[in-house]
Amino acid sequence: MLVLDAVIVGVDMLIKKFGQTNKGKKGLCLITNAQCPIKESYEGTKEEEVTTIAKQLTAHGMKMESIIFRGKLSQDANKAIMDENDRLLNIFSKETSTRLLYLENPISLFGALRTRNVALVTVFRGDLEISPKLRIKVRSMYRNNLISRP
What domains, with CATH codes, occur in the chain?
3-112 (3.40.50), 115-147 (no CATH)
- In sequence order, the 6+-apart residues with CB closer than 8 A to the CB of 62 are 11, 14, 26, 27, 28, 56, 96
Percent of the chain with pLDDT over 70: 77
Over residues 54-86, the pLDDT tens digits come to 888 888 888 888 888 877 766 667 788 888 888
pLDDT for position 42: 79
Average pLDDT in the chain = 76
pLDDT at 140 over 80: no
pLDDT for position 75: 63
pLDDT for position 81: 83
Half-sphere exposure for 135 (CA within 13 Å, toward CB): 6
Residue 62 dihedral angles phi and psi, to the nearest 5°: -95, 150
Q: Is the pTM of this model over 0.75?
A: no
Which segment of 16-25, 29-38, 67-76 scores lowest on mean pLDDT?
A: 16-25
Mean pLDDT value across residues 117-146: 74
The Cα 109–Cα 107 span in angstroms is 5
